[in-house]
Amino acid sequence: MHSDRCYTLTASCPDRVGIIARVSGFIAEHGGWILESSYHADPGIDGQSGRYFMRIEVKADSLPFPLAEFSARFAVIAADMQMDWKLSDSALKKRVVVLVSRQEHCLYDLMARWQSGELAIDIPCVISNHETLRGFVEWHGIPFRHLASEDKGAMNAKIGEIFDEVGADTMVLARYMQILSPALCAAHPGRIINIHHSFLPSFVGAKPYHQAYQRGVKLIGATCHYVTADLDQGPIIEQDVIRIDHSDSVDDMVRYGKDIEKAVLARGLRYHIEDRVLPHGNKTVVFR
């Protein structure tokens, strides 16, 4: 992400001739200075039509109008090209609500990156189903919301209420060991991010390191993905692995895995808040 204030356009549309020329021509026509651009053509398979993806950063002060007018003018082109598109302003930090249970390593890492300015986000609150991490969160001056109920439907509804109440853009499950309801997932598609302690699609669900140990794998990893109603099946944003061998115990694997989980979640969240991730069915295009 550039230090200059910029507007970021992300879009996808049916593949055709002249897409780049049409979009970059529109920007150039108004004096726009393109700072970064990325493109990808997905040809499709089995007779499916291809789709084109793009991400363009434009220096904000190079344009003669604000974001709202940029959006209104570009909408004409987008409609003609059947685009799914979004515009964002780098001056407006994403508001990220973090959900956590008892395991603290991912929360600690996110808070350190937030406090240092490495992650340019606002954290309006942290939600947990346990009181364990209240002191740590409140020491950072962030509201802590404890939700615990045997009625999981009511608890999920409350999470949704808090998310809307604080005006959040993104929800991050930083080792939140509860399953979100289908209704909550459906209400926020592409806005809920999870870190799973396994290299998906292998070893879904609980205790993946135990599953990996019993299977005798030589690589373990972590996966950052969008949350859907299908457990651990959402579009993957980022993954990483580490090599292990027969001498490593389950405890060793858990310890190695925590380091991978922190790094993968931080990278995945960064790609998301910088509008580098374009979901495409159950896949993603990630412009790093």
At 54-88, the pLDDT tens digits run 999 999 999 999 999 999 999 999 999 999 999 99
Residues 156 and 269 in one domain: yes
Residues 114 and 137 in one domain: yes
Q: Is residue 268 part of a domain?
A: yes
Q: Is residue 1 part of a domain?
A: no
Residue 148 has a pLDDT of: 83
Q: Is residue 194 part of a domain?
A: yes
**Is 252 one of the annotated active-site residues of the chain?**
no
Residues 175 and 250 in one domain: yes
Residues 78 and 113 in one domain: no
Q: Residue 196 is part of a domain; what is its CATH number?
A: 3.40.50.170
Residues 238-286: tens digit of each pLDDT: 999 999 999 989 899 889 999 999 999 999 999 999 999 999 989 999 9
Active-site hit among 232, 240, 252, 259: 232
Residues 107-145: tens digit of each pLDDT: 999 999 999 999 999 999 999 999 999 999 999 999 999
Residue 4 has a pLDDT of: 85
In the listed set 64, 89, 114, which residue is the last one of a domain according to the structure?
89
In the listed set 47, 74, 89, which residue is the last one of a domain according to the structure?
89
Residues 119 and 15 in one domain: no
Q: Is residue 34 part of a domain?
A: yes
Residue 220 has a pLDDT of: 87
Residue 203 has a pLDDT of: 73
Residues 21-61: tens digit of each pLDDT: 999 999 999 999 999 999 999 887 665 678 999 999 999 99
Residues 69 and 115 in one domain: no
Q: Is residue 167 part of a domain?
A: yes
pTM above 0.85, yes or no: yes
Residues 152 and 228 in one domain: yes
Residues 71 and 186 in one domain: no
Domain region containing 54? 6-89
Residue 271 has a pLDDT of: 98
Residues 172 and 203 in one domain: yes
Residues 109 and 241 in one domain: yes
Residues 182-230: tens digit of each pLDDT: 999 999 999 999 999 877 677 777 778 888 888 888 888 899 999 999 8
Residue 214 has a pLDDT of: 86
* Structural domain total, the chain: 2
In the listed set 36, 58, 89, which residue is the last one of a domain according to the structure?
89
Q: Is residue 237 part of a domain?
A: yes
Q: Residue 34 is part of a domain; what is its CATH number?
A: 3.30.70.260
Residues 25 and 151 in one domain: no
Q: Is residue 214 part of a domain?
A: yes
Q: Is residue 112 part of a domain?
A: yes
Residues 62 and 201 in one domain: no
Give phi and psi for 46, each to the nearest 5.
Answer: 55, 45
